[in-house]
């Protein structure tokens, strides 16, 4: 019995070391691009300082969202906002109307939820006066608390501080365990992923909430989300902007879209009927084959540079289908 316990302990320790070494090697390869922070561009600094003057010869695009559209883990030049800016330059400058240049203000941020995105919209809608607002929607943007009392003390400059997120006791416990053992986190993730691929969802945790509970039309979370997103659309329209929504898929489960039938149905109807001038369903946009080509690594399901480029190209295509005068009509 004692020998068996020792053997199991050695196996677990070896597994822990192997996962940490493997994961550390991947992180080392990405060392220069995994920092999670607000992108401090010259454009953002000018807008924050009140030194920016909108010019209608400049096509202006405001980007909102969480780590998916922000580009956590990819080279800055491969982020959606960067590729989108370059593509719009090619499509618009000297070709459509009086547009002479393109400026993309990216105020997306990892861990943002819908209320964070609304606060950014409220701050930068008037200061930047975008022609287009691109909202990268992630299906977990409904979580974390969407009540105004979650908002920290308002700031007069800079991106608004993030909403104080509400975390359940169960999730807090799981995150604590994951912080202690990389092997446990890896095995848990792989087991759950395998179960999801076979269509089985444990009736606990965020995944269950997101696929089965919170996107019910009558749920308090969806009613709060509906209100916050509607406010975001209202603020965009009040500032003369068109709203483009890119609804991101879950990249490591592209082959199991049926697991997401409920949120997809509710979100598609809401964005198409009530909110977006342009709605892009990311599930339909990405082919459900060879899903691993679209995300960073087996440890990180965020989209990689190849996927960012694909997203940016599609957004640019949808914007390009509009008449040349469309973004200027509402001025």
Distance (Å, rounded) from C-alpha 328 to C-alpha 320? 14
pLDDT of residue 114: 96
pLDDT of residue 118: 95
pTM over 0.95: no
Count of all residues that appear for the chain in the document: 331
Q: Is 131 helix (H, G, I), strand (E, B) or coil?
A: coil
pLDDT of residue 263: 95
> Per-residue pLDDT tens for 261-297?
999 999 999 999 878 999 999 999 987 666 678 988 7
Q: Which residues of the chain have pLDDT under 50?
A: 9, 12, 15-17, 19-36, 167, 174-175, 177-178, 180
Distance (Å, rounded) from C-alpha 236 to C-alpha 283? 25
CB within 8 Å of 10: residues ≥ 6 apart? none
Is 150:162 a contact under the CB 8 Å cutoff? no
36-329: CATH superfamily: SGNH hydrolase (3.40.50.1110)
Distance (Å, rounded) from C-alpha 97 to C-alpha 326? 10
Is 266:215 a contact under the CB 8 Å cutoff? yes
**Of 128, 204, 122, nearest in space to 155 by CA:** 122
Distance (Å, rounded) from C-alpha 273 to C-alpha 260? 20
Is 35:67 a contact under the CB 8 Å cutoff? no
Distance (Å, rounded) from C-alpha 224 to C-alpha 221? 5
- For residue 3, what are its two tokens? 């020998």
DSSP string covering 271-319: IIIII-SEEEEHHHHS-SSSGGGGEEETTEEEE-HHHHHHHHHHHHHHH
Distance (Å, rounded) from C-alpha 16 to C-alpha 86? 43
CB atoms within 10 A of CB 224: 17
CB atoms within 10 A of CB 272: 13
- Phi and psi (nearest 5°) for 115? -70, -40
């Amino acid at each position: 019995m004692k020998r068996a316990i020792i053997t199991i302990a050695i196996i677990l320790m070896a597994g822990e070391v192997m996962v940490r070494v493997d994961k550390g090697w991947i992180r080392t390869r990405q060392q220069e691009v995994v920092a999670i922070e607000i992108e401090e561009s010259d454009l953002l600094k000018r807008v924050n300082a009140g030194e920016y003057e909108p010019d209608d010869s400049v096509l202006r695009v405001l980007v909102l969202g969480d780590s998916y559209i922000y580009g956590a883990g990819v080279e800055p030049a491969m982020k959606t906002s960067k590729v989108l800016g370059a593509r719009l330059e090619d499509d618009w400058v000297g070709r459509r109307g009086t547009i002479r240049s393109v400026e993309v203000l990216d105020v997306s941020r990892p861990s943002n939820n819908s209320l964070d995105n609304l606060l950014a919209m409220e701050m930068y809608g008037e200061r930047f006066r975008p022609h287009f607002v691109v909202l990268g929607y992630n299906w977990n943007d409904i979580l974390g608390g969407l009540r105004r009392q979650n908002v920290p003390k308002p700031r007069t400059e800079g991106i608004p501080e993030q909403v104080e997120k509400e975390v359940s006791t169960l999730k807090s416990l799981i995150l604590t365990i994951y912080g202690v053992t990389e092997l446990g986190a890896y095995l848990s993730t792989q087991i759950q992923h395998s179960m999801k691929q076979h269509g089985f969802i444990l009736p606990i945790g965020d995944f269950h909430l997101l696929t089965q509970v919170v996107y019910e039309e009558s749920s308090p979370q969806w009613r709060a989300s509906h209100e916050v997103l509607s406010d975001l659309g209202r603020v965009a329209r009040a500032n003369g902007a068109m709203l483009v929504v890119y609804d991101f898929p879950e990249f490591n489960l592209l082959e199991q879209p049926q697991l997401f039938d409920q949120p997809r149905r509710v979100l598609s109807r809401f964005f198409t009927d009530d909110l977006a001038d342009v709605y892009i369903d990311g599930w339909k946009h990405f082919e459900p084959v060879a899903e691993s080509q679209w995300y960073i690594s087996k440890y990180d399901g965020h989209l990689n540079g190849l996927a960012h480029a694909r997203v940016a190209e599609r957004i640019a295509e949808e914007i390009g289908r509009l008449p040349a005068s469309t973004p200027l009509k509402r001025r």
